[in-house]
A and B are shown apart, each in its own frame.
Chain A
Amino acid sequence: MVQANNNGDSTAEAMPAERGSSTASEGTGDAVLSVKNLGVWYGAFRAVRDINMQVKRNTVLALIGPSGCGKSTVLRCFNRMNDLVPSARVEGEVIYNGVNLYADSTDATEIRSRVGMVFQKPNPFPKSIFENVAFGLRVNGFKGNMQEAVERSLRQAALWEEVKDRLNASAQALSGGQQQRLCIARALAVEPDVVLMDEPCSALDPIATLAIEDLIRQLVTKYTIIIVTHNMQQAARVSSETAFFMVGEDRAGYLVEMAATDQIFTNPRHEQTEAYITGRFS
Protein backbone atom coordinates (compact mmCIF):
# COMPACT_ATOMS: atom_id res chain seq x y z
CA MET A 1 0.00 0.00 0.00
CA VAL A 2 1.24 3.42 -0.86
CA GLN A 3 0.38 6.36 1.29
CA ALA A 4 -0.27 9.65 -0.43
CA ASN A 5 1.35 12.63 1.21
CA ASN A 6 -1.09 15.42 1.81
CA ASN A 7 1.35 18.14 0.96
CA GLY A 8 -1.21 20.58 -0.36
CA ASP A 9 1.47 22.36 -2.31
CA SER A 10 -0.45 22.95 -5.49
CA THR A 11 -3.30 25.07 -6.72
CA ALA A 12 -6.20 23.25 -8.23
CA GLU A 13 -4.96 23.52 -11.79
CA ALA A 14 -2.33 21.98 -13.96
CA MET A 15 0.84 23.31 -12.42
CA PRO A 16 4.05 23.58 -14.35
CA ALA A 17 7.31 22.12 -13.14
CA GLU A 18 10.71 21.14 -14.43
CA ARG A 19 10.56 18.07 -16.57
CA GLY A 20 12.15 15.32 -14.52
CA SER A 21 13.61 12.04 -15.62
CA SER A 22 11.15 10.18 -13.41
CA THR A 23 8.27 10.99 -15.70
CA ALA A 24 10.12 10.67 -18.94
CA SER A 25 10.92 7.00 -18.63
CA GLU A 26 9.69 4.39 -21.05
CA GLY A 27 5.97 3.71 -21.29
CA THR A 28 4.21 0.39 -20.85
CA GLY A 29 3.29 -0.41 -24.41
CA ASP A 30 0.23 1.47 -25.58
CA ALA A 31 -0.94 2.40 -22.10
CA VAL A 32 -0.10 5.86 -20.85
CA LEU A 33 -1.74 5.14 -17.50
CA SER A 34 -2.10 1.80 -15.85
CA VAL A 35 -4.12 1.32 -12.67
CA LYS A 36 -3.60 -1.70 -10.44
CA ASN A 37 -5.84 -2.57 -7.50
CA LEU A 38 -6.53 1.08 -6.81
CA GLY A 39 -8.47 1.97 -3.69
CA VAL A 40 -9.09 5.39 -2.19
CA TRP A 41 -10.07 6.14 1.39
CA TYR A 42 -11.29 9.39 2.89
CA GLY A 43 -10.54 8.74 6.54
CA ALA A 44 -12.42 5.56 7.47
CA PHE A 45 -14.65 5.75 4.38
CA ARG A 46 -13.58 3.74 1.38
CA ALA A 47 -14.58 5.75 -1.66
CA VAL A 48 -13.40 3.35 -4.39
CA ARG A 49 -12.04 -0.16 -4.42
CA ASP A 50 -10.23 -2.67 -6.62
CA ILE A 51 -9.90 -0.54 -9.72
CA ASN A 52 -7.85 -2.07 -12.52
CA MET A 53 -7.67 -0.34 -15.85
CA GLN A 54 -5.38 0.75 -18.68
CA VAL A 55 -5.68 4.04 -20.49
CA LYS A 56 -4.41 3.95 -24.06
CA ARG A 57 -2.33 6.79 -25.44
CA ASN A 58 -4.09 9.35 -27.67
CA THR A 59 -7.57 8.18 -26.86
CA VAL A 60 -10.51 9.79 -25.11
CA LEU A 61 -11.64 7.72 -22.16
CA ALA A 62 -15.01 8.58 -20.62
CA LEU A 63 -15.73 7.71 -16.99
CA ILE A 64 -19.47 7.36 -16.40
CA GLY A 65 -21.64 6.21 -13.53
CA PRO A 66 -24.16 7.44 -10.98
CA SER A 67 -23.33 10.02 -8.31
CA GLY A 68 -21.07 8.67 -5.62
CA CYS A 69 -19.61 5.90 -7.78
CA GLY A 70 -16.11 7.31 -7.41
CA LYS A 71 -15.45 8.34 -10.99
CA SER A 72 -14.17 11.79 -10.02
CA THR A 73 -12.12 10.27 -7.22
CA VAL A 74 -10.47 7.93 -9.73
CA LEU A 75 -9.89 10.83 -12.13
CA ARG A 76 -8.20 12.79 -9.40
CA CYS A 77 -5.84 9.89 -8.71
CA PHE A 78 -4.34 10.36 -12.16
CA ASN A 79 -2.56 13.55 -11.14
CA ARG A 80 -2.59 13.10 -7.37
CA MET A 81 -5.22 15.77 -6.90
CA ASN A 82 -6.56 13.71 -4.00
CA ASP A 83 -3.38 14.64 -2.14
CA LEU A 84 -5.05 17.99 -1.58
CA VAL A 85 -7.85 16.40 0.40
CA PRO A 86 -6.82 15.94 4.03
CA SER A 87 -7.52 12.39 5.16
CA ALA A 88 -7.33 10.98 1.61
CA ARG A 89 -5.34 7.78 1.36
CA VAL A 90 -4.56 5.84 -1.79
CA GLU A 91 -3.72 2.16 -2.07
CA GLY A 92 -2.61 0.21 -5.08
CA GLU A 93 -0.71 1.65 -8.01
CA VAL A 94 -1.19 4.22 -10.72
CA ILE A 95 1.59 3.82 -13.26
CA TYR A 96 2.14 6.76 -15.60
CA ASN A 97 4.61 6.02 -18.39
CA GLY A 98 6.31 3.40 -16.21
CA VAL A 99 6.45 5.58 -13.07
CA ASN A 100 4.35 4.82 -10.02
CA LEU A 101 2.63 8.13 -9.28
CA TYR A 102 2.35 7.23 -5.61
CA ALA A 103 5.97 6.22 -5.06
CA ASP A 104 7.78 8.29 -2.42
CA SER A 105 10.23 9.54 -5.02
CA THR A 106 7.52 10.91 -7.32
CA ASP A 107 6.97 14.66 -7.19
CA ALA A 108 3.25 15.48 -7.31
CA THR A 109 3.86 18.96 -8.72
CA GLU A 110 5.87 17.54 -11.55
CA ILE A 111 3.16 14.99 -12.28
CA ARG A 112 0.56 17.73 -12.50
CA SER A 113 2.57 19.43 -15.23
CA ARG A 114 2.34 16.26 -17.33
CA VAL A 115 -1.22 15.42 -16.36
CA GLY A 116 -3.29 18.59 -16.51
CA MET A 117 -6.80 19.12 -15.28
CA VAL A 118 -9.88 21.06 -16.36
CA PHE A 119 -12.74 21.47 -13.91
CA GLN A 120 -16.50 21.55 -13.99
CA LYS A 121 -16.80 25.27 -13.48
CA PRO A 122 -14.52 27.46 -15.58
CA ASN A 123 -12.03 28.94 -13.13
CA PRO A 124 -9.84 31.49 -14.90
CA PHE A 125 -7.49 33.50 -12.70
CA PRO A 126 -8.54 37.15 -12.17
CA LYS A 127 -5.98 38.23 -14.72
CA SER A 128 -5.89 39.03 -18.41
CA ILE A 129 -6.54 36.38 -21.04
CA PHE A 130 -2.85 36.43 -21.95
CA GLU A 131 -1.66 36.10 -18.37
CA ASN A 132 -3.98 33.19 -17.69
CA VAL A 133 -2.30 31.17 -20.42
CA ALA A 134 1.20 32.47 -19.65
CA PHE A 135 0.87 31.79 -15.93
CA GLY A 136 1.93 28.16 -15.93
CA LEU A 137 4.81 28.85 -18.29
CA ARG A 138 6.08 31.68 -16.11
CA VAL A 139 6.00 29.52 -12.98
CA ASN A 140 7.77 26.89 -15.04
CA GLY A 141 10.61 29.30 -15.81
CA PHE A 142 9.79 29.22 -19.51
CA LYS A 143 12.56 30.89 -21.54
CA GLY A 144 11.07 30.72 -25.04
CA ASN A 145 8.85 33.14 -26.95
CA MET A 146 5.90 33.74 -24.65
CA GLN A 147 3.76 35.41 -27.35
CA GLU A 148 4.11 32.37 -29.57
CA ALA A 149 3.47 29.92 -26.75
CA VAL A 150 0.29 31.72 -25.68
CA GLU A 151 -0.97 31.96 -29.26
CA ARG A 152 -0.25 28.27 -29.86
CA SER A 153 -2.20 27.24 -26.76
CA LEU A 154 -5.12 29.52 -27.56
CA ARG A 155 -5.22 28.17 -31.10
CA GLN A 156 -5.18 24.60 -29.82
CA ALA A 157 -8.07 25.46 -27.55
CA ALA A 158 -9.96 26.96 -30.53
CA LEU A 159 -10.14 30.34 -28.79
CA TRP A 160 -7.51 32.40 -30.61
CA GLU A 161 -9.77 33.87 -33.30
CA GLU A 162 -12.21 35.08 -30.67
CA VAL A 163 -9.69 36.73 -28.34
CA LYS A 164 -6.65 37.70 -30.43
CA ASP A 165 -7.62 41.39 -30.44
CA ARG A 166 -8.18 41.61 -26.70
CA LEU A 167 -5.52 39.50 -25.08
CA ASN A 168 -5.11 42.05 -22.32
CA ALA A 169 -8.81 42.09 -21.44
CA SER A 170 -9.85 40.40 -18.25
CA ALA A 171 -10.51 36.67 -18.56
CA GLN A 172 -13.59 37.20 -16.39
CA ALA A 173 -15.22 39.13 -19.23
CA LEU A 174 -15.35 36.05 -21.44
CA SER A 175 -18.48 33.92 -21.79
CA GLY A 176 -18.70 30.65 -19.85
CA GLY A 177 -17.80 28.56 -22.89
CA GLN A 178 -14.87 30.85 -23.73
CA GLN A 179 -13.67 30.75 -20.12
CA GLN A 180 -13.69 26.97 -20.22
CA ARG A 181 -11.70 26.97 -23.45
CA LEU A 182 -9.31 29.43 -21.81
CA CYS A 183 -8.87 26.98 -18.94
CA ILE A 184 -8.14 24.28 -21.49
CA ALA A 185 -5.60 26.59 -23.18
CA ARG A 186 -4.03 27.21 -19.77
CA ALA A 187 -3.77 23.47 -19.16
CA LEU A 188 -2.29 22.90 -22.63
CA ALA A 189 0.27 25.72 -22.34
CA VAL A 190 2.63 23.63 -20.23
CA GLU A 191 2.44 20.88 -22.86
CA PRO A 192 1.02 18.09 -20.78
CA ASP A 193 0.69 14.51 -21.93
CA VAL A 194 -2.69 13.74 -20.43
CA VAL A 195 -5.61 16.12 -19.83
CA LEU A 196 -8.18 15.22 -17.17
CA MET A 197 -11.60 16.81 -17.51
CA ASP A 198 -14.11 16.67 -14.69
CA GLU A 199 -17.54 17.38 -16.19
CA PRO A 200 -16.09 20.20 -18.30
CA CYS A 201 -19.42 21.08 -19.95
CA SER A 202 -21.87 20.81 -17.09
CA ALA A 203 -21.90 24.58 -16.56
CA LEU A 204 -22.15 25.37 -20.28
CA ASP A 205 -25.01 25.84 -22.72
CA PRO A 206 -25.50 23.33 -25.59
CA ILE A 207 -23.60 25.40 -28.17
CA ALA A 208 -20.59 25.93 -25.90
CA THR A 209 -20.78 22.24 -25.00
CA LEU A 210 -20.55 21.18 -28.65
CA ALA A 211 -17.59 23.53 -29.13
CA ILE A 212 -15.75 21.84 -26.24
CA GLU A 213 -16.63 18.40 -27.61
CA ASP A 214 -15.27 19.39 -31.02
CA LEU A 215 -12.14 20.58 -29.31
CA ILE A 216 -11.75 17.31 -27.40
CA ARG A 217 -11.90 15.36 -30.65
CA GLN A 218 -9.19 17.59 -32.13
CA LEU A 219 -6.95 17.44 -29.08
CA VAL A 220 -6.87 13.66 -28.97
CA THR A 221 -4.35 13.51 -31.81
CA LYS A 222 -1.83 15.11 -29.46
CA TYR A 223 -3.05 14.29 -25.97
CA THR A 224 -4.67 11.53 -24.00
CA ILE A 225 -7.94 12.78 -22.53
CA ILE A 226 -9.90 11.34 -19.64
CA ILE A 227 -13.30 12.88 -19.11
CA VAL A 228 -15.83 12.42 -16.33
CA THR A 229 -19.32 13.16 -17.56
CA HIS A 230 -22.91 12.71 -16.42
CA ASN A 231 -24.07 13.23 -19.97
CA MET A 232 -24.07 9.84 -21.62
CA GLN A 233 -24.67 11.24 -25.07
CA GLN A 234 -21.54 13.29 -24.54
CA ALA A 235 -19.55 10.22 -23.52
CA ALA A 236 -20.87 8.47 -26.63
CA ARG A 237 -19.96 11.42 -28.85
CA VAL A 238 -16.43 12.17 -27.71
CA SER A 239 -14.86 9.02 -26.33
CA SER A 240 -13.42 5.91 -27.92
CA GLU A 241 -13.45 3.96 -24.66
CA THR A 242 -15.87 4.13 -21.77
CA ALA A 243 -15.51 2.92 -18.20
CA PHE A 244 -18.69 2.42 -16.17
CA PHE A 245 -18.53 2.69 -12.38
CA MET A 246 -21.12 1.72 -9.78
CA VAL A 247 -21.58 2.11 -6.06
CA GLY A 248 -21.35 -1.12 -4.09
CA GLU A 249 -23.43 -2.03 -1.06
CA ASP A 250 -20.46 -0.97 1.06
CA ARG A 251 -20.88 2.47 -0.63
CA ALA A 252 -17.47 2.09 -2.28
CA GLY A 253 -17.33 2.77 -6.02
CA TYR A 254 -15.98 0.10 -8.35
CA LEU A 255 -15.42 -0.44 -12.04
CA VAL A 256 -18.16 -2.56 -13.60
CA GLU A 257 -16.84 -2.66 -17.13
CA MET A 258 -14.60 -0.83 -19.50
CA ALA A 259 -14.82 -1.34 -23.25
CA ALA A 260 -14.95 0.38 -26.60
CA THR A 261 -17.56 3.13 -26.41
CA ASP A 262 -19.66 1.72 -29.26
CA GLN A 263 -19.80 -1.61 -27.47
CA ILE A 264 -20.86 -0.01 -24.18
CA PHE A 265 -23.62 1.98 -25.84
CA THR A 266 -24.97 -0.70 -28.15
CA ASN A 267 -24.33 -3.96 -26.36
CA PRO A 268 -22.81 -3.72 -22.88
CA ARG A 269 -21.72 -6.97 -21.26
CA HIS A 270 -23.11 -6.27 -17.79
CA GLU A 271 -26.74 -5.93 -16.84
CA GLN A 272 -25.86 -3.04 -14.50
CA THR A 273 -24.31 -1.09 -17.36
CA GLU A 274 -27.38 -1.81 -19.48
CA ALA A 275 -29.69 -0.59 -16.73
CA TYR A 276 -27.70 2.59 -16.16
CA ILE A 277 -27.26 3.69 -19.74
CA THR A 278 -30.84 2.92 -20.69
CA GLY A 279 -32.04 5.00 -17.76
CA ARG A 280 -33.49 2.12 -15.76
CA PHE A 281 -30.99 2.44 -12.94
CA SER A 282 -32.40 2.37 -9.45
Chain B
Amino acid sequence: MPRIDFDRDLRQLQDDLLFLGSMVEKAIAKALDAFKRRDLVVSEQVLNEDTLIDRKRFQIEEKVIDLIATQQPLARDLRILITVLHVAVELERMGDYAEGIAKISLRMGDEAPLKPLIDIPRMGELAAVMLRRSLDAFVNRDIVGAEGVSRADDEVDALYEQVYRELLTFMIEDPKKVQRATFLLWVAHDLERIADRATNIAERVVFLVTGKLVDMNTSNTDPTPRR
Protein backbone atom coordinates (compact mmCIF):
# COMPACT_ATOMS: atom_id res chain seq x y z
CA MET B 1 0.00 0.00 0.00
CA PRO B 2 1.88 3.11 -1.15
CA ARG B 3 1.23 6.51 0.40
CA ILE B 4 1.07 8.44 -2.85
CA ASP B 5 0.46 11.97 -1.55
CA PHE B 6 2.84 11.66 1.36
CA ASP B 7 5.59 10.16 -0.78
CA ARG B 8 5.17 12.97 -3.30
CA ASP B 9 5.36 15.57 -0.51
CA LEU B 10 8.51 13.93 0.88
CA ARG B 11 10.17 14.00 -2.54
CA GLN B 12 9.15 17.60 -3.11
CA LEU B 13 10.50 18.59 0.30
CA GLN B 14 13.87 17.01 -0.43
CA ASP B 15 13.97 18.77 -3.81
CA ASP B 16 13.23 22.05 -2.04
CA LEU B 17 16.08 21.38 0.37
CA LEU B 18 18.49 20.81 -2.51
CA PHE B 19 17.25 24.01 -4.12
CA LEU B 20 18.01 25.85 -0.87
CA GLY B 21 21.43 24.16 -0.93
CA SER B 22 22.13 25.50 -4.41
CA MET B 23 21.01 29.01 -3.38
CA VAL B 24 23.48 28.90 -0.47
CA GLU B 25 26.24 27.47 -2.63
CA LYS B 26 25.82 30.35 -5.06
CA ALA B 27 25.69 32.92 -2.27
CA ILE B 28 28.99 31.67 -0.82
CA ALA B 29 30.73 31.63 -4.21
CA LYS B 30 29.36 35.05 -5.08
CA ALA B 31 30.31 36.61 -1.74
CA LEU B 32 33.85 35.31 -1.90
CA ASP B 33 34.33 36.21 -5.53
CA ALA B 34 33.04 39.74 -4.92
CA PHE B 35 35.33 39.99 -1.91
CA LYS B 36 38.35 38.99 -3.98
CA ARG B 37 37.45 41.31 -6.85
CA ARG B 38 36.38 44.07 -4.48
CA ASP B 39 33.06 44.29 -6.29
CA LEU B 40 30.80 46.13 -3.90
CA VAL B 41 27.74 45.93 -6.15
CA VAL B 42 27.77 42.15 -6.07
CA SER B 43 28.50 42.18 -2.32
CA GLU B 44 25.39 44.31 -1.88
CA GLN B 45 23.45 41.81 -3.96
CA VAL B 46 24.52 38.91 -1.74
CA LEU B 47 23.34 40.89 1.25
CA ASN B 48 19.92 41.45 -0.28
CA GLU B 49 19.51 37.91 -1.57
CA ASP B 50 19.94 36.44 1.88
CA THR B 51 16.27 37.27 2.48
CA LEU B 52 15.34 34.77 -0.25
CA ILE B 53 17.38 32.08 1.51
CA ASP B 54 15.70 32.87 4.83
CA ARG B 55 12.29 32.70 3.17
CA LYS B 56 13.03 29.35 1.57
CA ARG B 57 14.19 27.93 4.88
CA PHE B 58 10.94 28.98 6.59
CA GLN B 59 8.92 27.54 3.72
CA ILE B 60 10.69 24.18 4.18
CA GLU B 61 10.26 24.32 7.94
CA GLU B 62 6.55 25.03 7.62
CA LYS B 63 6.13 22.09 5.25
CA VAL B 64 7.96 19.77 7.66
CA ILE B 65 5.77 20.89 10.55
CA ASP B 66 2.69 20.42 8.40
CA LEU B 67 3.69 16.87 7.46
CA ILE B 68 4.54 15.93 11.05
CA ALA B 69 1.18 17.25 12.19
CA THR B 70 -0.88 15.61 9.48
CA GLN B 71 0.94 12.43 8.49
CA GLN B 72 2.25 11.08 11.82
CA PRO B 73 5.57 10.10 10.24
CA LEU B 74 7.52 7.24 11.80
CA ALA B 75 10.79 5.41 11.24
CA ARG B 76 12.48 6.42 7.95
CA ASP B 77 9.82 9.04 7.16
CA LEU B 78 10.38 10.62 10.54
CA ARG B 79 14.15 10.57 10.07
CA ILE B 80 13.81 12.23 6.65
CA LEU B 81 11.68 15.03 8.08
CA ILE B 82 13.92 15.62 11.09
CA THR B 83 16.97 15.62 8.82
CA VAL B 84 15.40 18.07 6.37
CA LEU B 85 14.47 20.35 9.27
CA HIS B 86 18.03 20.37 10.64
CA VAL B 87 19.74 20.64 7.27
CA ALA B 88 17.52 23.56 6.26
CA VAL B 89 18.63 25.43 9.38
CA GLU B 90 22.30 24.59 8.73
CA LEU B 91 22.01 25.83 5.16
CA GLU B 92 20.29 29.02 6.18
CA ARG B 93 23.07 29.75 8.68
CA MET B 94 25.65 29.08 5.96
CA GLY B 95 23.81 31.70 3.93
CA ASP B 96 24.25 34.07 6.87
CA TYR B 97 28.02 33.50 6.75
CA ALA B 98 28.00 34.35 3.03
CA GLU B 99 26.08 37.49 3.98
CA GLY B 100 28.73 38.11 6.67
CA ILE B 101 31.50 38.00 4.07
CA ALA B 102 29.53 40.44 1.88
CA LYS B 103 29.12 42.81 4.85
CA ILE B 104 32.86 42.76 5.55
CA SER B 105 33.47 43.48 1.90
CA LEU B 106 31.17 46.51 2.09
CA ARG B 107 32.81 47.72 5.30
CA MET B 108 36.22 47.51 3.64
CA GLY B 109 34.91 49.67 0.85
CA ASP B 110 37.67 50.71 -1.52
CA GLU B 111 40.38 49.48 0.75
CA ALA B 112 42.57 46.65 -0.55
CA PRO B 113 42.99 43.51 1.57
CA LEU B 114 45.89 43.58 4.01
CA LYS B 115 47.72 40.87 2.09
CA PRO B 116 47.27 38.87 -1.09
CA LEU B 117 44.51 36.31 -0.68
CA ILE B 118 45.87 32.76 -0.88
CA ASP B 119 44.64 30.65 2.02
CA ILE B 120 41.21 32.30 2.22
CA PRO B 121 40.21 31.39 -1.37
CA ARG B 122 41.52 27.88 -0.69
CA MET B 123 39.33 27.68 2.40
CA GLY B 124 36.40 28.89 0.31
CA GLU B 125 36.97 26.20 -2.32
CA LEU B 126 37.21 23.49 0.32
CA ALA B 127 34.11 24.70 2.14
CA ALA B 128 32.15 24.77 -1.13
CA VAL B 129 33.25 21.23 -1.96
CA MET B 130 32.26 20.09 1.53
CA LEU B 131 28.83 21.64 1.15
CA ARG B 132 28.29 19.97 -2.22
CA ARG B 133 29.52 16.60 -0.93
CA SER B 134 27.36 16.78 2.17
CA LEU B 135 24.29 17.36 -0.02
CA ASP B 136 25.38 14.55 -2.38
CA ALA B 137 25.68 12.28 0.65
CA PHE B 138 22.16 13.33 1.65
CA VAL B 139 20.76 12.55 -1.80
CA ASN B 140 22.57 9.21 -2.04
CA ARG B 141 22.11 8.26 1.63
CA ASP B 142 25.88 7.79 1.61
CA ILE B 143 27.57 7.39 5.01
CA VAL B 144 31.04 6.98 3.50
CA GLY B 145 30.60 10.26 1.62
CA ALA B 146 29.41 11.91 4.85
CA GLU B 147 32.54 10.75 6.64
CA GLY B 148 34.64 12.23 3.83
CA VAL B 149 33.05 15.62 4.53
CA SER B 150 34.07 15.41 8.16
CA ARG B 151 37.68 14.59 7.20
CA ALA B 152 37.85 17.56 4.83
CA ASP B 153 36.84 19.78 7.75
CA ASP B 154 40.19 19.04 9.41
CA GLU B 155 41.93 20.60 6.43
CA VAL B 156 39.80 23.74 6.64
CA ASP B 157 40.47 23.97 10.36
CA ALA B 158 44.22 23.69 9.74
CA LEU B 159 44.07 26.45 7.11
CA TYR B 160 42.08 28.63 9.46
CA GLU B 161 44.65 28.21 12.19
CA GLN B 162 47.37 29.15 9.73
CA VAL B 163 45.52 32.28 8.62
CA TYR B 164 44.83 33.17 12.23
CA ARG B 165 48.50 32.90 13.25
CA GLU B 166 49.63 34.86 10.22
CA LEU B 167 47.18 37.70 10.81
CA LEU B 168 48.04 37.77 14.48
CA THR B 169 51.67 38.31 13.52
CA PHE B 170 50.66 41.27 11.32
CA MET B 171 48.72 42.77 14.19
CA ILE B 172 51.55 42.34 16.70
CA GLU B 173 54.09 43.83 14.32
CA ASP B 174 52.00 46.86 13.49
CA PRO B 175 48.94 47.75 15.59
CA LYS B 176 47.77 50.09 12.81
CA LYS B 177 46.98 46.97 10.79
CA VAL B 178 44.67 45.51 13.40
CA GLN B 179 41.47 46.55 11.69
CA ARG B 180 42.48 45.35 8.23
CA ALA B 181 43.74 42.06 9.67
CA THR B 182 40.50 41.66 11.57
CA PHE B 183 38.49 41.97 8.36
CA LEU B 184 40.37 39.04 6.85
CA LEU B 185 40.13 37.07 10.06
CA TRP B 186 36.35 37.46 10.03
CA VAL B 187 36.14 36.21 6.47
CA ALA B 188 38.30 33.19 7.35
CA HIS B 189 36.16 32.57 10.39
CA ASP B 190 32.96 32.67 8.32
CA LEU B 191 34.44 30.10 5.95
CA GLU B 192 35.55 27.90 8.81
CA ARG B 193 32.03 27.98 10.18
CA ILE B 194 30.57 27.11 6.77
CA ALA B 195 32.80 24.02 6.74
CA ASP B 196 31.69 23.11 10.27
CA ARG B 197 28.07 23.35 9.22
CA ALA B 198 28.74 21.13 6.22
CA THR B 199 30.01 18.61 8.77
CA ASN B 200 26.77 19.07 10.72
CA ILE B 201 24.87 18.18 7.54
CA ALA B 202 27.06 15.08 7.22
CA GLU B 203 26.12 14.15 10.79
CA ARG B 204 22.47 14.40 9.82
CA VAL B 205 23.07 12.10 6.86
CA VAL B 206 24.44 9.50 9.27
CA PHE B 207 21.30 9.95 11.38
CA LEU B 208 19.09 9.65 8.31
CA VAL B 209 20.70 6.36 7.33
CA THR B 210 21.42 4.75 10.71
CA GLY B 211 19.18 6.53 13.20
CA LYS B 212 22.27 7.33 15.28
CA LEU B 213 23.20 10.81 16.42
CA VAL B 214 26.96 11.27 16.07
CA ASP B 215 29.36 14.15 16.62
CA MET B 216 31.74 14.47 13.68
CA ASN B 217 33.05 17.91 14.63
CA THR B 218 35.84 16.38 16.64
CA SER B 219 38.83 18.58 15.80
CA ASN B 220 39.73 21.22 18.30
CA THR B 221 41.81 23.52 16.20
CA ASP B 222 39.48 26.51 16.17
CA PRO B 223 41.44 29.11 18.13
CA THR B 224 38.51 31.50 18.49
CA PRO B 225 35.13 31.18 20.14
CA ARG B 226 32.30 30.04 17.89
CA ARG B 227 29.50 32.33 16.90
Binds A, one of B71-79, B123-131, B176-184: B71-79
Question: How many angstroms between the C-alpha atoms of A273 and B74 in the bound complex?
Answer: 11
Q: Is the CB of A278 within 8 A of B74?
A: yes
A29 on the interface (CB 8 Å rule)?
A: no
Residues of chain A in range 225-282 having any CB-CB distance to chain B below 8 Å: 232-233, 236, 263, 265-268, 273-274, 277-282
Q: Which residues of A contact B72 (CB under 8 A)?
A: 232-233
Q: Is the CB of B75 within 8 A of A274?
A: yes
Which residues of B does A touch, CB under 8 Å?
1-3, 6, 72-79, 210-211
Question: How many angstroms between the C-alpha atoms of A261 and B215 in the bound complex?
Answer: 24
Min Cβ gap B192→A in Å is: 32
Min Cβ gap B72→A in Å is: 6
Q: Is the CB of A278 within 8 A of B1?
A: no
Q: Is the CB of A267 within 8 A of B79?
A: yes
Q: Is the CB of A278 within 8 A of B79?
A: no
Q: Is the CB of A280 within 8 A of B1?
A: yes
If A265-B78, A266-B79 touch, does A278 touch B211 (CB 8 Å cutoff)?
A: no
Report the nearest B residue to A277, measured CB to CB: B74
If A266-B211, A267-B210, A267-B211 touch, does A277 touch B75 (CB 8 Å cutoff)?
A: yes
| 24 interchain pairs, CB-CB under 8 A | A232-B72, A233-B72, A263-B211, A265-B74, A265-B75, A265-B78, A266-B74, A266-B78, A266-B211, A267-B75, A267-B210, A267-B211, A273-B75, A274-B76, A277-B74, A277-B75, A278-B3, A278-B73, A278-B75, A278-B76, A278-B77, A279-B3, A279-B6, A282-B1
Partner of A280, one of B2, B210, B211: B2
Q: Is the CB of B1 within 8 A of A279?
A: yes
Q: Which residues of A contact B78 (CB under 8 A)?
A: 265-266
Report the nearest A residue to B212, measured CB to CB: A267
Interface residues on chain A, number (Cβ under 8 Å): 16
Partner of A281, one of B1, B6, B73, B210: B1
Question: How many angstroms between the C-alpha atoms of A124 and B111 in the bound complex?
Answer: 87
Question: How many angstroms between the C-alpha atoms of A267 and B210 in the bound complex?
Answer: 7
Min Cβ gap B108→A in Å is: 48
Min Cβ gap A236→B in Å is: 8
Question: How many angstroms between the C-alpha atoms of A274 and B77 in the bound complex?
Answer: 9
Q: Which residues of B contact A274 (CB under 8 A)?
A: 75-76
Question: How many angstroms between the C-alpha atoms of A274 and B79 in the bound complex?
Answer: 12
Report the nearest A residue to B77, measured CB to CB: A278
Q: Which residues of A contact B77 (CB under 8 A)?
A: 278
Report the nearest B residue to A236, measured CB to CB: B74
Report the nearest A residue to B209, measured CB to CB: A267
Report the nearest B residue to A263, measured CB to CB: B211
Min Cβ gap B67→A in Å is: 12
Question: How many angstroms between the C-alpha atoms of A267 and B75 in the bound complex?
Answer: 5
Report the nearest A residue to B211, measured CB to CB: A267
Min Cβ gap B191→A in Å is: 34
Question: How many angstroms between the C-alpha atoms of A85 and B75 in the bound complex?
Answer: 37
If A232-B74, A266-B211, A267-B211 touch, does A280 touch B79 (CB 8 Å cutoff)?
A: no
Q: Which residues of B contact A281 (CB under 8 A)?
A: 1
Question: How many angstroms between the C-alpha atoms of A273 and B78 in the bound complex?
Answer: 14
Q: Which residues of A contact B76 (CB under 8 A)?
A: 274, 278
Q: Which residues of A contact B2 (CB under 8 A)?
A: 280
Q: Which residues of A contact B3 (CB under 8 A)?
A: 278-280
Min Cβ gap A188→B in Å is: 31
Report the nearest A residue to B72, measured CB to CB: A233
Q: Which residues of A contact B6 (CB under 8 A)?
A: 279
Q: Which residues of B contact A232 (CB under 8 A)?
A: 72, 74
Residue with the greatest number of chain A CB neighbours at <10 A, chosen from B72, B73, B74: B74
Question: How many angstroms between the C-alpha atoms of A52 and B19 in the bound complex?
Answer: 48
Question: How many angstroms between the C-alpha atoms of A279 and B72 in the bound complex?
Answer: 10
Question: How many angstroms between the C-alpha atoms of A182 and B3 in the bound complex?
Answer: 39
Min Cβ gap A234→B in Å is: 11
Q: Which residues of A contact B75 (CB under 8 A)?
A: 265-268, 273-274, 277-278
Q: Which residues of A contact B74 (CB under 8 A)?
A: 232, 236, 265-266, 277-278
Q: Which residues of B contact A277 (CB under 8 A)?
A: 74-75
Q: Which residues of A contact B73 (CB under 8 A)?
A: 278
Residue with the greatest number of chain B CB neighbours at <10 A, chosen from A263, A265, A280: A280
Question: How many angstroms between the C-alpha atoms of A267 and B72 in the bound complex?
Answer: 15
Min Cβ gap B141→A in Å is: 13
Q: Give me the 6 closest cross-chain CB pairs, A-B, nearest first.
A: A267-B211, A277-B74, A282-B1, A274-B75, A265-B74, A278-B77
Q: Which residues of A contact B211 (CB under 8 A)?
A: 263, 266-267
Min Cβ gap A227→B in Å is: 18
